Amino acid sequence: MTQTSTQPQEAARLSAGHPAPPAPGQDSPEAPTSGGETPMEGGPAGRPWISRPAEAFTREALYARLLGEVRSWRDYPPSLRLWMLLVPVLTAVAGGILRFVRLDAPHKLVFDETYYVKDAYSFLISGYERNWPDKANDSFNAGDPSVLLPSPEYVVHPPVGKWMIAAGMALFGADNSFGWRFAAAFTGTLSILLLALIALKLFRSLPLAGAAGLLLAVDGHHLVMSRTSLLDIFLMFWILAAFGALLLDRDDGRRRLAARLAQAAARNGGQPPPQMLLTGPWLGIRWWRLAAGICLGLAVGTKWSGLFFLAGFGLLTVIWDLSARRVAGIRGWISGGAIKDGIPAFLSTVPVAFLVYGATWTGWFRSEDAYFRRWAESNPSAEWGWLPDSIRSLAHYHREAYTFHQGLGSEHPYEASAWSWLVLGRPTSFFYESPEQGTPGCAVAKCTSAILSVGNPLIWWAAVISLVVLLFWWAGRRDWRAGAILAGVGAGYLPWFLYPERTMFYFYAVSFEPFLVLALAYCLGLVLGRAGDPPWRRRAGLYLVALFVAAAVLLSSFFYPIWAAEVIPYDAWRVRMWMPSWI
């Protein structure tokens, strides 16, 4: 006998602010899940109906078990589809306003912009990084970047993020701060849209999608990283894009599995042949998985920490496929999934990611005098001489960069252990000035203009609590969405504990911040309640969620001046320093 379910109409739930019941493909169909979802209905105490074996492998039954009732967004009413687009777009517009207004302030390079912005300008001129003279920042800030030297510079980060900064400079000029920060602001805004769409995909709830997008839009850490041209905002974007592509691949793979099993069953009198039920069918080329591999290659091409996401997401997508084969009724779902899903998953992500990563070094390959470009010619090798000189030179470059990262343990006034990131223990100060009385914006004796990369405390501390809740929901209720969100946080956070002696900074956490917001949205879904709850319970849940989001927005408005370098009285700045370690 095979379990299938009878589910209510999903569109009414979504439009009412309550997502659909959990898809039957979830590991625990009877478990209440986040986002206001309900257990599957149809039997006593919410137990699923039991179907006859002859009906278990019809296309409808397989789709119901693996995907749920609604197959695509076209199954929703047109008016609801409009809101499914408007809600993510409106949150992105709100975030874009916060990021682009006064983006050119301050009119100077701040913090590590001194490295990446000037490297990006080098890319525009020559396709690789070049050296700069002493006091080059003064010339750059004055709008004269032409002091670039002809000699190559040794850098330890890959090119993608710098090429993205360079694209903004190509559009709006390298002689102004708006031009060199445009790409970061645009990428940060686009990531808000992407997160809202991902939340809608995960939770099937417009209120939760809007809440997730808005919380990321108003969070100070993401805001600061979107208004300064460091590499981490670009790393975060490509990681989030890869996660979204894998979510689409999850549904695509289950559709293919259902279709192939149903076709085989129809040809065989209602049951798939025994050999197919043993391991299941091959599913062909998974295009969304290839897209994820490309995005992960661009993530690694921004910062090497993207490798941890490549490994974590690769395991995650294989686990999803194993679960799909088990739920579909494949007897040898472990061996079948490992061979027919695991191997293609590896080939679709790891080699693709590394090919994309190699392509990001095109400017270095095409150059004549980039750093280490001719190293192999002066260092012949009997063992590796069969490799092209350019490949050996690039390999040596990477070995030297890896050695640098391993030994990066110098003291810094704003270094922050990974233990302190989630509780905002030591945020990074990007910029601080004390304008004199009479300067624009300063009407008192002592003023301050600052950029402190600190998150909204309400959002971050609530997200930490949410992670604990998700651990219980994943381990105890086996909700795949909780596991997916935890995988994103774990891939971005846990590896840093392997390098306790390395100098670290809080702003590294932006790479997994969207997953913290998703964890928070998951728990807000629990507060919303289930679609089958009494009206008073649903109203109370909606009021509580709205109150939390409104409180987060108000708190962000309080902290906004120290995120956006506004000139405020020193006393007002001091009030916003909630911990001594923030100073």
Instruction: Report pLDDT for 6.
Output: 33
Q: Which stretches of the chain score pLDDT less than 50?
A: 1-13, 15-49
Instruction: Report pLDDT for 10.
Output: 47
Residues 6+ apart with CB under 8 A from 538: 17, 18, 36, 528, 529, 531
Instruction: Report pLDDT for 30.
Output: 30
Q: What is the pLDDT of residues 268-299, one digit of tens each?
A: 888 899 989 999 999 999 999 999 999 999 99
For the whole prediction, is pTM greater than 0.85?
yes
Distance CA 337, CA 348 (A): 15
Instruction: Report pLDDT for 362.
Output: 96
Residues 6+ apart with CB under 8 A from 32: 38, 39, 477, 530
Please give the structure tokens belonging to residue 2. Answer: 């095979």
Angle at 493 between CA 319 and CA 237, to 5 degrees: 80
Q: What is the pLDDT of residues 400-434, one digit of tens each?
A: 988 887 766 678 899 999 999 999 999 999 999 99
Separation in Å, CA 57 to CA 52, 269, 466: 10, 10, 38
Omega of the bond leading into 106 within 30 degrees of 0 (cis): yes
Instruction: Report pLDDT for 71.
Output: 62
Residues 6+ apart with CB under 8 A from 154: 371, 372, 400
Radius of gyration of the chain from Cα atoms?
A: 26
| Nearest by Cα to 196 from 458, 466, 456, 518 | 518
Percentage with pLDDT > 90 across the chain: 77
Separation in Å, CA 571 to CA 335, 446, 448, 554, 575: 65, 8, 9, 20, 6
- Tell me if residue 337 falls in helix, strand or coil: helix
